[in-house]
């Protein structure tokens, strides 16, 4: 304790000293106040950018700095904690209007739902087991037609305990109704997160957007990120132009909001519920236009004519790019389909890109192979798909492993 | 994503079946500003307005369904639409105006002459034998679920005049529907009549339906004393209904 020094030391209820980052400088606070709103097209596509060498977490922070976020709520869990700690700095500097730590992830995701219903722009982030804890509430967001952005920094789901990257958690997200983008690197994490706010808030979409990235490989590693100036930001959420009315206690009738339909035991009552669910997935389809516009498409295709094609998302794309390069050195042409948007799934684009392929590999950072299942259920001739290679439990993916599969899977044809 | 090829699916007047798919899932794309949708096909805006006008003039019991955005005047945009809304009504002989003031479920039963409710829109359509209707000022989510249910079980030609991006599940829809476009719709109604479309209910004005219409539009005495109506309000009916049907 610092008794006698004349300074009061703050402690938590357990008596631990609370440490904090230095108070923001006046200069930093001026930055937030000076930001001006620009058209999203300008911010995403036209504004001059400068390259900077930063971590994935810092890239997310830079996205949030320009996102005009009203409320950020989070509960710490590795590897997400670092990003949300940085969001705390943004709050201190005035870039985020409100910020707090929830009691746990269920509470956080519930609080985000409440905030979104009130019409403000919301953000949360989580990882692995935290996502599992919040998943019940997250699954209710799309039905509530609640725009919000959820950053998912993937990690192993227990047990055995590990904090390393593994994106099996995304298999749980596939059918929640949330839009789901999977970022390959730091640049993607910046671009996808920022665009996610605008895409989810489009009136015809009005859905939550999850932006996933493979933890540590991207969140804690540095990469080159092109950023526009920090003095511009997105327009605020325009909640009066969305698919559902927000809670508005100053305009009658308050209860016009999203009351659940009364469920009587008859077909027509349940038909209303069924139509409601259909509408969520229809709204996903409507998001394609904006993903095309602001993320340059739902997929990226490299070497489109190659007979051997790799399909990957997230950090597995980077390993695949390198495997494609190494295969070329050996005189083998290999193509690559990068899946940017997992939901909506780019079925048409994937079918078109793989129609000619003789062999299709799907490298993944998880045991269950959710992406391989998606690809198999989408294309004609699913026997062409080799579900692998896969690594999990926090392993990295050596490019040699992908090359082995390109040359011929060990112990297989 | 722009519609690159003609989708096989068409959004036709129902009944289509117990649970039709959402048109967006079947490859129907929303039009851009200046375009419209007719039965799932993107057409120039004036063509969509024309199709909507013909349906409203020639099909049985045409009805306008104004939603909360029209009724509650939440912002300038909705307020400025109310005058041209009545211009449109005046151009459709025999038209009814049945509001959707709220999205709350009304049980055990709605008064189908007084309101349409998104939980069972088919009841209003069936009861009034409505074969053409316009949704305007309804939040997109509730418009879409309602339009799907109408398509499933009725033969009503649905038209969605949407202030936002438009509706794939309506037989005709125009997006970004401003007050100006509402005036154009009134002009379109006049034009198609001039060009030879004979309205089914030639010579009839707006047909009152429900106590609100009787009180408001025809000058007829309200069925209840006005103060009682205000006091009772909409919630009163709802509460009564719930109590009667308690399970």
Smallest Cβ distance to B72: which of A252, A258, A274? A252
Q: Rounded mean pLDDT of A279-298? A: 98
B91 part of contact set with chain A, CB < 8 Å: no
CATH superfamily for B35-231 is TPP-binding domain (3.40.50.1220)
Smallest CA–CA distance from A203 into chain B, residue: B164
- A395-410: pLDDT as tens digits: 999 999 999 999 986 6
Judged by average pLDDT, the poorest of A17-21, A38-42, A359-363, B203-207 is A17-21
Please name the helix (run of DSSP H) or strand (run of DSSP E) that holds residue A180, with its range, or none.
Answer: strand A179-183
Cβ contacts (< 8 Å) between A264 and chain B: which residues?
107
Q: Which of A145, A246, A253, A293 to mutate to test the interface with B (most CBs of B within 10 A)?
A: A253
Closest CA to A131 of A85, A98, A180: A180
CB contact under 8 A, A262 and B105: yes
Cβ contacts (< 8 Å) between B3 and chain A: which residues?
none
Is the distance from CB of B121 to CB of B134 less than 8 angstroms?
no
Q: What DSSP letter does each residue of A28-80 carry, written as one string?
A: HHHHHHH-EE--HHIIIIIS-EEEEEEEHHHHHHHHHHTTT-SEEEE---TTT
- A74 and A148 housed in the same domain: yes
Question: Does the predicted interface ipTM exceed a cut of 0.95?
Answer: no
Cβ contacts (< 8 Å) between A259 and chain B: which residues?
103-105
Cβ contacts (< 8 Å) between B139 and chain A: which residues?
242-245
- A63 and A205 housed in the same domain: yes
Cα A9 to the center of its chain, rounded Å? 38
Among A187, A211, A233, identify where a domain stops: A233
In a domain, A2, yes or no: no
Is the distance from CB of A394 to CB of A128 less than 8 angstroms?
no
Cα A199 to the center of its chain, rounded Å? 12
In a domain, A161, yes or no: yes
In a domain, A11, yes or no: no
In a domain, A138, yes or no: yes
Tell me what pLDDT residue A29 has.
84
In a domain, A204, yes or no: yes
Smallest CA–CA distance from B233 into chain A, residue: A253
Q: How many domains does chain A have?
A: 2
- A160 and A54 housed in the same domain: yes
Domain map (residue ranges) of chain B: 35-231
Smallest Cβ distance to B25: which of A267, A275, A282? A282
Please name the helix (run of DSSP H) or strand (run of DSSP E) that holds residue A179, with its range, or none.
Answer: strand A179-183
Please give the backbone phi and psi of residue B246, each rounded to the nearest 5 degrees, phi first.
-60, 135
Smallest CA–CA distance from A250 into chain B, residue: B74
B35 part of contact set with chain A, CB < 8 Å: no
Handedness of CA A319, A320, A325, A326 (dihedral sign): positive
- A148-184: pLDDT as tens digits: 999 999 999 988 988 999 999 999 999 999 999 999 9
Residue B165 has pLDDT above 50, yes or no: yes
Nearest-neighbour CA in chain A from B195: distance (Å)? 35
Higher pLDDT, B229 or A412: A412
- Report the C-alpha dihedral over residues A56, A59, A61, A62, rounded to 10 degrees: 180
Smallest Cβ distance to B104: which of A259, A276, A292? A259
Q: How many CB pairs under 8 A join A and B?
A: 109
> A375: domain CATH number?
3.40.50.920
Q: Please give the residue range of the domain that contains residue A320.
A: 299-407
Q: Could you give the CA distance from residue A70 to residue A87 in angstroms, rounded to a whole number?
A: 12
Nearest-neighbour CA in chain B from A142: distance (Å)? 12
Residue B215 has pLDDT above 70, yes or no: no
Q: Could you give the CA distance from residue B56 to residue B63 in angstroms, rounded to a whole number?
A: 8
Cβ contacts (< 8 Å) between B163 and chain A: which residues?
241
Q: Band the pLDDT of B228: cuts 50, 70, 90.
A: very low
Higher pLDDT, B3 or A365: A365
Closest CA to B187 of B46, B62, B36: B46
- B180-196: pLDDT as tens digits: 999 999 999 999 999 99
- A212 and A305 housed in the same domain: no
Tell me what pLDDT residue B206 has.
83
Edge-to-edge strand ranges of the sheet holding A149-154? A98-101, A71-74, A122-126, A149-154, A209-214, A179-183, A341-343
Q: Looking up tokens 């909705």, which residue turns up?
A: B78
In a domain, A275, yes or no: no
In a domain, A207, yes or no: yes
Tell me what pLDDT residue A255 has.
58
Q: Rounded mean pLDDT of B89-104? A: 91
Among A233, A265, A283, identify where a domain stops: A233
Q: Band the pLDDT of B211: cuts 50, 70, 90.
A: very low
CB contact under 8 A, B74 and A240: yes
Tell me what pLDDT residue A25 has.
81
Q: Band the pLDDT of B230: cuts 50, 70, 90.
A: very low
Residues 119-158 of A with CB under 8 A from B: 145
In a domain, A334, yes or no: yes
Nearest-neighbour CA in chain B from A385: distance (Å)? 26
Q: Could you give the CA distance from residue A143 to residue A208 in angstroms, rounded to a whole number?
A: 10
Q: Which of B68, B143, B145, B176 to mutate to test the interface with A (most CBs of A within 10 A)?
A: B145
| The overall pTM is greater than 0.95 | no
Cα B9 to the center of its chain, rounded Å? 23
Please name the helix (run of DSSP H) or strand (run of DSSP E) that holds residue A183, with its range, or none.
Answer: strand A179-183
Q: Rounded mean pLDDT of A115-138? A: 96
- Inter-residue long-range contacts of A40-43, CB under 8 Å, 24+ positions, other chains counted: A40/A195, A40/A198, A40/A234, A40/A235, A40/A294, A41/A293, A42/A232, A43/A194, A43/A228, A43/A232, A43/A233, A43/A234
Cα A288 to the center of its chain, rounded Å? 16
Q: Could you give the CA distance from residue A231 to residue B91 in angstroms, rounded to a whole number?
A: 52
Residue B92 has pLDDT above 90, yes or no: yes
Degrees to nearest 5, angle at CA A128 with A83 and A377: 115
């Amino acid at each position: 304790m610092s008794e006698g020094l004349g300074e009061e030391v703050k402690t938590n209820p357990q008596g631990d000293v609370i440490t904090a980052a230095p108070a923001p400088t006046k200069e930093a606070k001026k930055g937030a106040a000076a930001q001006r709103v620009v058209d999203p097209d300008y911010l995403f596509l036209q504004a001059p950018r400068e390259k900077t060498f930063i971590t994935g977490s810092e890239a997310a922070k830079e996205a949030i700095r320009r996102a005009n976020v009203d409320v950020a709520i989070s509960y710490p869990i590795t590897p997400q904690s670092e990003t949300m700690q940085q969001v705390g700095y943004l709050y201190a500097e005035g870039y985020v209007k409100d910020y707090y730590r929830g009691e746990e992830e269920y509470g956080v995701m519930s609080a985000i739902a409440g905030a979104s219903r009130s019409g403000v722009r919301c953000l949360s982030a989580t990882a692995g087991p935290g996502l599992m804890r919040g998943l019940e509430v997250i699954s209710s967001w799309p039905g509530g037609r609640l725009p919000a952005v959820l950053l998912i920094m993937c990690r192993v789901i227990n047990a055995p305990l590990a904090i390393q990257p593994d994106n099996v958690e995304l298999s749980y997200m596939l059918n929640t109704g949330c839009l789901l983008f999977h970022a390959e690197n730091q640049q993607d994490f910046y671009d996808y997160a920022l665009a996610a706010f605008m895409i989810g808030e489009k009136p015809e979409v009005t859905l939550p957007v999850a932006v996933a990235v493979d933890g540590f490989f991207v969140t804690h590693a540095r990469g080159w990120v092109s950023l526009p100036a920090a003095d511009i930001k997105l327009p605020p959420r325009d909640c009066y132009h969305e698919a559902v009315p927000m809670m508005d206690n100053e305009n009658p009738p308050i209860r016009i909001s999203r009351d659940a339909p009364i469920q009587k035991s008859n077909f027509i009552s349940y038909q209303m519920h069924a139509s409601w669910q259909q509408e969520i997935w229809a709204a996903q389809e409507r998001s394609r236009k904006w993903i095309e516009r602001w993320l340059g498409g739902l997929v990226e295709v490299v070497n489109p004519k190659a007979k051997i094609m790799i399909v990957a998302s997230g950090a597995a794309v980077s390993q695949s790019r390198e495997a494609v390069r190494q295969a070329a050195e050996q005189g083998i042409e290999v193509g690559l389909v990068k899946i940017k948007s997992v939901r909506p799934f780019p079925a048409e684009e994937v079918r078109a890109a793989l129609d000619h392929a003789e062999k299709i590999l799907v490298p993944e950072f998880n045991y269950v192979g959710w992406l391989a299942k998606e690809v198999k259920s989408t294309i004609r001739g699913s026997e062409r798909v080799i579900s692998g290679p896969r690594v999990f439990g926090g392993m990295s993916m050596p490019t040699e492993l992908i090359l082995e599969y390109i040359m011929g899977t060990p112990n297989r044809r | 994503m722009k519609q690159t090829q003609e989708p096989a699916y068409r959004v036709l007047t129902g009944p289509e079946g117990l649970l039709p798919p959402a048109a967006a899932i079947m490859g129907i794309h929303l039009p851009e500003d200046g375009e419209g949708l007719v039965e799932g096909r993107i057409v120039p805006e004036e063509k969509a307005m024309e199709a909507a006008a013909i349906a409203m003039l020639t099909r049985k019991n045409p009805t306008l369904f104004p939603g909360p955005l029209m009724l509650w005047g939440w912002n300038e945009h909705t307020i400025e639409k109310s005058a041209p809304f009545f211009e449109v009504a005046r151009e459709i002989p025999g038209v009814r105006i049945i509001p959707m003031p709220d999205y709350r479920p009304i049980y055990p039963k709605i008064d189908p002459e007084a309101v349409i409710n998104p939980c069972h829109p088919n009841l209003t359509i069936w009861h009034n034998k409505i074969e053409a209707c316009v949704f305007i000022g309804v939040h997109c989510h509730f418009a879409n679920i309602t339009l799907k249910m109408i398509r499933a079980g009725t033969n009503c030609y649905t038209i969605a005049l949407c202030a936002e991006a438009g509706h794939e599940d309506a037989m005709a829809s125009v997006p970004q529907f401003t007050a100006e476009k509402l005036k154009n719709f009134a002009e379109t109604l006049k034009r198609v009549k001039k060009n030879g479309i004979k309205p089914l209910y030639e010579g009839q004005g707006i047909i009152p339906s429900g106590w609100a219409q009787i009180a408001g539009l025809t000058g007829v005495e309200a069925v209840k004393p006005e103060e009682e109506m205000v006091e009772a309000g909409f919630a009163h009916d709802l509460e009564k209904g719930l109590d009667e049907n308690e399970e």
